[in-house]
Structure 1
Amino acid sequence: MKLPNSPEMPKFMQLLQWIYNPLQLMEASAKAHGDCFTLWLTNKQPMVFLSNPQAIQQLFTTPLEQLDARASAQLLQPLLGENSLLLLSGETHQRQRKLLTPPFHGDRMRVYGDIITNITKEVISNWKIGEPFSVRDSMQEIALRIILQAVFGLHDGERYTQLQKRLCGILDLTGSSLRSTLSFFPSLQIDLGRWSPWGNFLRQREEIDQLLYAEIQDRRDHPDLSRTDILSLMMAARDENGESMTEVELRDELMTLLVAGHETTASALTWALYWIHKLPQVREKLLTELDNFGDNGDLNEVTRLPYLTAVCQETLRIYPIGMVTIPRIVKTPLEIGGHQFAPGTSLIGCIYLMHRRPDLYPQPEKFNPERFLEKQYSLYEYLPFGGSNRRCVGMAFALYEMKLVLATVLSNLDLGLVDNYQVKPIRRGVTLAPSGGKWLIATARHQKTKNSVEV
C-alpha cells in the first residue's frame, strides 16, 4: 500500500521542523501535496495528516476495533501517567470516560460560575492602571486557580500553595520549542540529578504526586458528601460493576485535568484578549453586547451571548490550541479518503489545516467572529476539541470558563494593546500557544451603562 506523498527532506529534519516550526511544515506540506500527506515524526510509524471533512468523518466514524489511539499518545505518558484518558484505548477508555463525564455535564457548570468570576476579579484587581502586564501570566494564574478550586476544592493552605508552585514549574519545563525537544527525543530523557532537565522533571513530578496522593487520602479518610468539586465527584463515581477509580487512576486523571485544563485555557484566553484589542471593531461590538445585557444574576445567560460565543469560536479556529487530533493507529487494513492504509500507519486529523480551508472559512487568516453567526459548521469541519469518542471531556467547562473570564475582564476594565504589538503562535509542549510579552495595558475602569452586565 503506497503512502500519501511526504516532504522531500530527511525524516530527522521533518521532526526538527515539527518541533520548531510546525505551522510552516504543515502549510508547506499541504501546498505541495494537498489535504492528505505523510510526515515521519517518529522512527516507529508514518503519520498521515488528513484535513478534508469527508476524510475526517471517515476517521471519526471508523469502528474502534480498527483503530488504536493508546500507543500513539505516549509522548504525554511521563507527565500524565499510563491511566490518563488521553492514553487509554478500547474498553478501558470507554469505562474511564463514563466515570469522568458526569462532573462536566452542562447542568453542573453553574456550580462553578461564581468560582470563575470571583477568581478573575481577584487577579485583575492587581493590574495597575497605565502599566503593561503579561496577559499569559495572568491568564495562567486565573486558569490554574480555577482548576485548583473547581477540580480539587482547594482554596488556600499549604497544599494549595505547593500544588500551584509545582505545577507552574513542571509546565515551564516545556514552555518553548527548545524545552519541548526533551519530550520528542527519549534519548535525552536521562536523570543526571536535579540540575539536569530530565532529572528536574522527575523530581518535580514526584513532588506533585506526593501532594495529589495526600489529597486523595485525606478525602478517603474524611468523606464529605456536601462537596461539589470534581475530585469528590470522581471519587464517588462507580462503573457498571460498582467499582470506583483506583488511587493511581485518580492521580493520572487529575494530572490530565490540571495540565489540559490549565495550559490550554490560558492560551485560548490570551489569544482572545489579543484579537479583541487588536481589532477595534471586534472590541466595540463585544462591549456593546456586554453593556446591553440585562443583569439578572444568571451567569449561564452571559455564556449564551451570541457575539461573545462567536469570538470564542473564532479564537479557537484561527490558532487552535491542539494543532492535531490524537493520532489513531491502523490495526487492520483500512481505506480513508481514497487511500489504502496498512496496519501500523498513524492517522491524524489536522485541526490547524482544517480550520484554514478557504472553501470552509473564506479569508482564513482573518479573525472574523461573524463567520460563526452566519454559518453552523459540522463536527468534521470545526474541531478545536478533537472529535468522536476522543473529543475533550472538559469541552463544556472550558468554553464556560472562557466566556465568563472574558466577560468579567471586559466588564470591569478598559484595556488597550501596547504599540500595535504583534503576538505570534509558538509551540508550547504539545500545544500551539501565543508568544509572551507585556502587550496589554489597563487604561481605566470600565464605565458600565445602566443595563450593563455584572459578572
Structure 2
Amino acid sequence: MQISIEVVLGLREGERYERLKQLLPAIFQHMRSPMMQVGFAVPFVLRDLGLWSPWGYLLQLKQEIYQLLYAEVQERREQADSSRTDILSELIFARDETGELMADEEVRDLLLSPLLAAQDASAVAIAWLLYWTHSLPEVCEQLLRELDSLGESPNPTNVVQLPYLNAVCNEALRIYPTQLFTFPRRVESSTEVMGYELSPGTILMGCIYLLHQNKDLYVQPQQFKPERFLERQYSAYEFMPFGGGTRSCIGAALAVFEMKLVLTTILSRYQLALVNRRSEQANFDGLMCYPASSIKMVMREINQRQSQPQHFVSGSV
C-alpha cells in the first residue's frame, strides 16, 4: 500500500497520506464483509440508508477517498512540476487527441484504479505465483537460473525483462486472472454482435476468465504452462488480464512490475514450501479470483548469498 501511494500519488508523508493509508484497506475490508457479500448476491439489499447501512458506508468511504484525491489533484495542478515521475504527475500533463488537458475530475477518477490494483490485485497474483512456482519445482528452478544469469544485485529494468519470468507471470494471470471481467461498455448505437441485436444503452462486460479458458486459444487451459507464452505471441483480444481495448486498467504496468520484483526477491532469498500439497482451488469472489486456502507456506531456510536485501527492492516491500 505504501508503495502504491508513493508511485501513484508521489506521497510519502503528511495528513492526506496517513488518511489514505487508513481508508484504502478499510474499503477492501468492507467489500469482503458478510453483509456486502449478501448484497452482491441480492442486489436490492444494497441501498443507501446512511452510514448504518453496508452500501451507505461504502459510499461514504468512497466519497472521502475521492475528496482526498481531488484535493491532491488540485494542489498538484497549481504546483505543476514536470520533473516528478509519479502517475498523478503524468496524468496532470497528459493531453487527449485534440491537445486538451484532462479535467481535475477525470484525473481523480483515473487514480483510484491503480491505487487499488497495486494492492489487492497484485497481492492475489503474487499468491498464485507462489503457489504455482512451489507446486511445480521445475518452474521455480528455471526462474532461479534465469535470475542468476543477471549476476548479483541486478537492475530492476533487467529483471522485469526476463522472458521466462514474464511467461510465468502471464500464465498465472491467464489461468486465474485477478480481474474476472472487463470494465463495462455501453452500447451507443444499435449494432449486432455474434447474432445478437444490441440496442443503445445495453451494458456489456466481457468475461476474461472464460476467454483465457478457451481451448481454441490455449491447449489444456487448466494446465500451468508458461512455455505457451514463449512459443506464441497472443493478441490483446486473446490475452487480457487487465481488460482490453482502450479501457484496460491504468494500473496494469505497475501491478506486473510489482509481481515480478516481489516474486524474484522472495525466490532468490528464501526457500519456501507449501503447507497444503493438494491442488489449490479458486474462490470466485466478486470481480476477483482468490486462492481458496490463502496459500499457506513455511520457510525452510534463508539463502546465505541473499541474506542482505537486494538493491532493487524498496525497504518497505
TM above 0.5:
yes
Distance (Å, rounded) in 2 between the aligned partners of 1:200 and 1:178: 11
Note if contact 1:421-1:439 (Cα within 8 Å) is conserved in structure 2. no
Q: Over residues 285-339 of structure 1, what are the superposed CA-to-partner deviations in whole Å (9 max), with x where a residue is unaligned?
A: 21222223234743211112121111101101111122233344444453434x2
Measure, in 2, the Cα distance between the counterparts of 1:177 and 1:312: 31
5+ unaligned residues in a row in structure 2: which ranges?
313-317
3-state SS in 1 of match to 2:75: helix
Kindly report structure 1 stretches of 4+ aligned residues shifted beyond 6 Å: none
Q: Which residue identity does 1:321 align to in structure 2?
A: T
Inter-CA distance 340–243: structure 2 relative to 1 (3 Å threshold): closer
Paired residues, number: 308
CA distance in 2, matches of 1:439, 1:242: 50
- The answer as to 2:275 corresponding to 1:418 is yes
Q: Is the 8 A contact 1:322 1:384 kept in 2?
A: yes
Cα deviation for residue 404 of structure 1 reads 1.6
Aligned to 2:252: 395
Per-residue CA deviation, residues 37-96 of structure 1 (Å, 9 max, x unaligned), is xxxxxxxxxxxxxxxxxxxxxxxxxxxxxxxxxxxxxxxxxxxxxxxxxxxxxxxxxxxx
- What is the one-letter code of the residue matched to 1:153? G
RCO higher in 1 or 2 (8 Å CA, sep ≥ 6)?
A: 1
**Structure 1 Cα separation of the partners of residues 100 and 218 of structure 2:** 46
Query: Is the CA contact (8 Å cut-off) linking 2:113 and 2:250 kept in structure 1?
Result: no
Match of 2:183 in 1: 326
CA contact (8 A) 2:283 2:292 kept: yes
Kept in 2: contact 1:176–1:426 (CA 8 A) = no
Aligned-residue RMSD, C-alpha: 2.9
The counterpart of 1:430, out of the listed 287, 291, 299, is 287
Q: Does 2:21 match 1:164?
A: yes
Paired position in structure 1 for 2:107: 250
1:76 — aligned with what? none
* Counterpart Cα distance in 2 of 1:234 and 1:332: 30
Equivalent positions of 1:23-62 (< 5 A) are none
Q: Secondary structure at the match of 2:31?
A: coil
Native 8 Å contact 2:192 2:198 kept in 1: no
Map residues 165-184 of structure 1 onto 2, 5 A cutoff: 165-175=22-32, 179-183=36-40
Q: Does 1:218 align with 2:79?
A: no
SS at match of 2:277: coil
- Normalising by structure 1, report the TM-score: 0.60
Q: Does the CA contact (< 8 Å) of 1:176 and 1:427 recur in 2? A: no
The 3-state SS of whatever aligns with 1:341 is strand
Asked if residue 366 in structure 1 is aligned to residue 223 in structure 2, the reply is yes
Counterparts of 2:100 and 2:86, CA distance in 1: 20
Q: Matches of 1:342 and 1:234 in 2, distance apart? A: 34
Any idea what the Cα deviations from partners look like across 1:342-374, whole Å, max 9, x if unmatched?
425555433212222233322221212122223
How far does the alpha carbon of each residue in 1:381-429 deviate from its partner, in whole angstroms, 9 at most, with x for none? 2222222223333333332222122112222222221132654322343
Q: How far 1:430 moved relative to its partner?
A: 2.0
Flag the 1:207–1:331 CA change in 2: closer, same or farther, 3 A. Answer: closer
Question: In the alignment, which residue of structure 2 is the partner of 1:122?
Answer: none
Partner of 2:197: 341
SS across alignment from 1:164? helix
Letter in 2 for 1:266: A
Aligned residue number for residue 267 of structure 1? 124
Partner secondary structure for residue 121 of structure 2: helix
Among 334, 338, 350, the residue aligned to 2:207: 350
Stretches of structure 1 that go unaligned for 5 or more consecutive residues are 1-143
SS state of the match for residue 9, structure 2? coil
Distance 1:310 1:241 in 2: 37
SS at match of 2:249: coil
Q: Which digits, 9 at most, give the CA deviation of each residue in 1:109-168, with x for residues without a partner?
A: xxxxxxxxxxxxxxxxxxxxxxxxxxxxxxxxxxx2221011111123332222122111
Q: Distance in 2 between matches of 1:252 and 1:333?
A: 28
Shift in alpha-carbon separation, 1:197–1:219, aligned structure 2, 3 A: same
Checking the alignment, whether the CA contact within 8 Å between 1:415 and 1:441 is kept in structure 2 is yes
Q: Does residue 285 of the first structure (1) align with residue 127 of the second (2)? A: no
Give me the whole-angstrom Cα distance separating, in 1, the residues matched to 2:227 and 2:95. Answer: 43
| Aligned residue in 1 for 2:161 | 304
Counterpart pick for 1:229 among 74, 86, 89: 86
